[in-house]
Amino acid sequence: MKIDKIKIKNFYSFVDTELNFKDYSGLTLIKGVNKDSAGSNGSGKSALLEAVFFGLTGKTVRKSTEVAIVNNKNKRGCVVEVFLDNGIMIRRSKKPTKLELFIDGENCTKDHASSTQAYIDDLLNINYKILLSSMFFGQSNTLNFLDADSNDKRIILRNFLNLEEIFRLRDKIKSHKSVYWGDLKVQDSLIKEFEKSKSSLEGDLSKINSENNQYLAEYEQYLDISLDDILGTERAISDAKGKKVTLLSDINREIRSLDDLLSQAKNNKCRGCGQKLPQTYWDRNKQNIEDKRENIKILKERRNSISIPEPYPITSMDYSSVLELKELVLQKSSFEAQIESLAEKIADAQNKKIESNKKYEIMRFWEKAFSEQGIIKYIIRNVLSFFNDKINYYLSFLTNQGYYLEFNEELSEKIVVSEEEVHYISLSGGEKRKINLCVLLALRDLLSFTDKNQLDIIFFDEVAENLDEGGIYGLYTLLKEIKKTKNIFVITHNKHLKTLLDSAPRITIIKDRGESKIMRKVRHGDCKAQ
């Protein structure tokens, strides 16, 4: 990713100026002239760096307030425009606050500034902290790797290695694990509840079976008989018996009547007066006798034809016991059905518990795999060799190969100076500065392992502080080495370093009457405003 140009309005002491980065390559010195105070301090050199960073991220290196950012004369209309080589232009304003994004001239600004910034970060694949630590070296960069504890060092490394995606995955894994753990607990609770209910029902069922065992054995055979059937049969039996009794009474009456007639006929006397019956009377009643005999025969046949239904083995009077038994059977059947249903629910909950437990254990495994002691430690372990080599490569320029630094897997450092191991705290300010610079440069090189975009420019802001003459020359040779692949812009007050950079292209920032302008050297002794 390359920055082609930056336009600045009312940002710090810059009222209206711009800088074409395409005009510079290799190593460039940024000088400052403050005509308001006779010197270079306060001219706006560091403000130029701030403008670049502010344009890209919306933040400043020195974490300045909005009041400090906006030009103190005009008090509003602060605008920074950053033009990138991929057709992207970012316009960021203060008073009023506004953020706009253009891609190949098309306005791609989102509804909210935060959404637009998120889109920019994703589009450019940049990270605020990483950009700060990999673009600015010197007083602008507060990152001190060696002063951090092991955990903070690990965090710094994982940021430079773009391991945040792993942590996002781990967070998702933890979320899934939590869900599966919750499911497991829910199913476990359901199993306990179902088993308790099932056990209670089994107790009730056992009680029914034990307390009514004889009762069940005695009346179970009658369960299929209905009360209506029993009552109907009992009515039919009563009716048949009644009809037989009635017919028997009719037969007996006819027999008595027949006996009377036969007795009279035998004696040939009237049973009432005792007088001899005339022949005519006998002749007249002879047919009546025959009719009565026939009627008696018919009545007997009719009586014999009436069948009495077979009674049920249980009477309607005893049917209350069957009803009670039916209620027990229904209750028993209900308990059995509930027990069966609960058994199915328990089996289903157990299967779900097993499945949730499997998923939980899988997520637990991956959580551990994505932990600080898992894949992250593995990645860090495998880049340590590269990291240590890069540190010592840069140290070779600054210390004439008199220093050696190595981090172990726990990120504890080992520092060797002239073949003697020393502690970081015992080093001088200049020695610490050399080592920290080399560590920062090595950290920047870790970005090559990631998909994080690297700017083609690096700003070195007063990195020569506390360095002796040998260190200054070593820094100069290091800068010449880095410029082979990157465009370097150096801000320094160190006279020795300035002398070494005398032949380098330069950008001069002149501050006059409170206004800073960027001047570009077009030929020896001449400057032109940009």
Report pTM: 0.61
Domain assignment of residue 530, yes or no: no
Domain assignment of residue 259, yes or no: yes
For the ranges 159-168, 197-206, 439-448, the lowest mean pLDDT is seen at 159-168
Long-range contacts of 469-472 (CB under 8 A, 24+ apart): 469/496, 470/400, 471/398, 471/399, 471/430, 471/434, 472/496, 472/497, 472/500
210 and 335 assigned to the same domain: yes
Residue 102 token pair? 């253009």
pLDDT score at 182: 92
Domain assignment of residue 257, yes or no: yes
Provide the residue type at 239 as one letter: D
Give 408 or 328, the one with higher predicted confidence: 408
pLDDT band at 522, cuts 50/70/90?
A: very low
Domain assignment of residue 208, yes or no: yes
209 and 338 assigned to the same domain: yes
Domain assignment of residue 464, yes or no: no
Q: How far is 448 from 438, CA to CA, in rounded Å?
A: 16
* Per-residue pLDDT at 15 exceeds 60: yes
Domain assignment of residue 56, yes or no: no
Structural domain containing residue 206:
171-216+326-369
Provide the residue type at 500 as one letter: L
Q: Strand 136-138 and strand 403-407: pairing?
A: unpaired
Q: Report the mean per-residue pLDDT for the chain.
A: 84
Q: How far is 159 from 353, CA to CA, in rounded Å?
A: 38
Domain boundary among 285, 311, 337: 311
* Cis geometry, peptide bond prior to residue 96 (ω within 30 degrees of 0): yes
For the ranges 88-102, 343-357, 504-518, the lowest mean pLDDT is seen at 504-518
- How much is the average pLDDT of 99-111? 94
Mapped onto helix, strand or coil, the DSSP state of residue 212 is: coil
* Per-residue pLDDT at 195 exceeds 60: yes
Instruction: Could you list the beta-strand ranges (E) of 85-198.
Output: 88-94, 98-103, 106-107, 136-138
Enumerate the H helices of 270-374 as residue ranges.
279-305, 319-369
Task: Express each pLDDT in 61-82 by its tens digit.
Answer: 777 777 788 998 899 999 999 9
Q: How far is 507 from 528, CA to CA, in rounded Å?
A: 10
Q: Is the dihedral of CA 336, 338, 343, 347 positive or negative?
A: positive
Domain assignment of residue 405, yes or no: no
Domain assignment of residue 374, yes or no: no
Residue 442 token pair? 């090595």
Assess contact for 489 and 456: CB atoms under 8 A: no
| Phi, psi dihedral angles at 139 (to 5 degrees) | -70, -20
Domain count of the fold of the chain: 2
252 and 270 assigned to the same domain: yes
Domain boundary among 311, 340, 358: 311
Residue 101 token pair? 């994004």
Which position has the token pair 């009279």? 264
Q: How far is 165 from 301, CA to CA, in rounded Å?
A: 108
Assess contact for 365 and 214: CB atoms under 8 A: no
Residue 257: which residues within 8 A CB-CB, separation 6 or more?
292
